[in-house]
Amino acid sequence: MISLSALHVEHPEWRPLLAVIDEALREDDDPHWAGFVPALRHAGAGGRPLLDGAVIEAAPKFIARWTRRILKVAAAAGTEVSALTKAITTGSIDPLLVFEIAVSQDVHRLDELARLVRDDRGVIHGLAPLIARPMLQACRRKWADRVPADWAEGRCPICGGAPALEELRGLDGSRHLRCGGCGGEWGSAWLRCPFCGETDHEQLGSLMSPDSLERQTVEVCESCRGYVKTITTLTPIPPRDVVVFDLATLVLDLAALERGYCRPATRRRGVAVNVVAEPSWLRDLIGLRP
233 vs 97: CA distance, rounded Å: 38
> Judged by CB under 5 A, does residue 156 bind Zn ion?
yes
- Candidates 185, 198, 246, 253; binder of Zn ion (CB under 5 A) is 198
Among 88, 162, 164, 224, binds Zn ion (CB under 5 A): 224
Q: Which is nearer to Zn ion, 88 or 242 (CB)?
A: 242
Stretch that binds Zn ion, among 10-18, 97-105, 108-116, 149-157 (CB under 5 A): 149-157
Q: What gap in Å lies between CA 160 and CA 180, rounded to an integer?
A: 11
CB atoms within 10 A of CB 170: 13
- Is 11 in a helix, a strand, or coil? coil
| Cα radius of gyration (the chain) | 20
d(CA 126, CA 76): 16
Instruction: State how far the Cα of 204 lies from the Cα of 223, in Å rounded to an integer.
Output: 8
Q: Which of 221, 228, 244, 256 binds Zn ion (CB under 5 A)?
A: 221
| 158 near Zn ion, judged by CB under 5 A | yes
Q: Give the Cα separation of 261 and 252 in Å (integer).
A: 11
Strand 273-277 to strand 54-58: parallel, antiparallel, or no bridges (unpaired)? Answer: parallel
Of residues 11 and 142, the one with the C-beta less far from Zn ion: 142
For 78, other C-beta atoms within 10 Å of its C-beta total: 9
Does the footprint of Zn ion cover residue 33 (CB under 5 A)?
Answer: no
Taking the least distance from each CB to Zn ion, the nearer of 37 and 182 is: 182
Least Å distance between CB 178 and Zn ion?
9
Is residue 130 involved in binding Zn ion (CB under 5 A)?
Answer: no
Stretch touching Zn ion by CB under 5 A, among 171-179, 210-218, 231-239, 275-283: 171-179
Min dist CB 154 to Zn ion, Å, is 8
What is the total count of residues that contact Zn ion (CB under 5 A)?
16
Output DSSP code: residue 45.
G
* CB-based burial, 187-218: b 16+ in 10 Å, e otherwise: ebeeebbbbeebeeeeebeebeeeeeeeebbb
Q: Which of the ranges 13-21, 63-71, 103-111, 214-222 carries the binding residues for Zn ion, by CB under 5 A? A: 214-222
Q: Is 50 a residue that touches Zn ion (CB under 5 A)?
A: no
Contacts of 145 (CB under 8 A, 6+ apart): none
Among 25, 74, 147, 159, binds Zn ion (CB under 5 A): 159
What residues between 177 and 196 interact with Zn ion by CB under 5 A? Answer: 179, 181-182, 184, 193, 195-196
Positions that interact with Zn ion (CB under 5 A): 156, 158-159, 161, 179, 181-182, 184, 193, 195-196, 198, 221, 223-224, 226
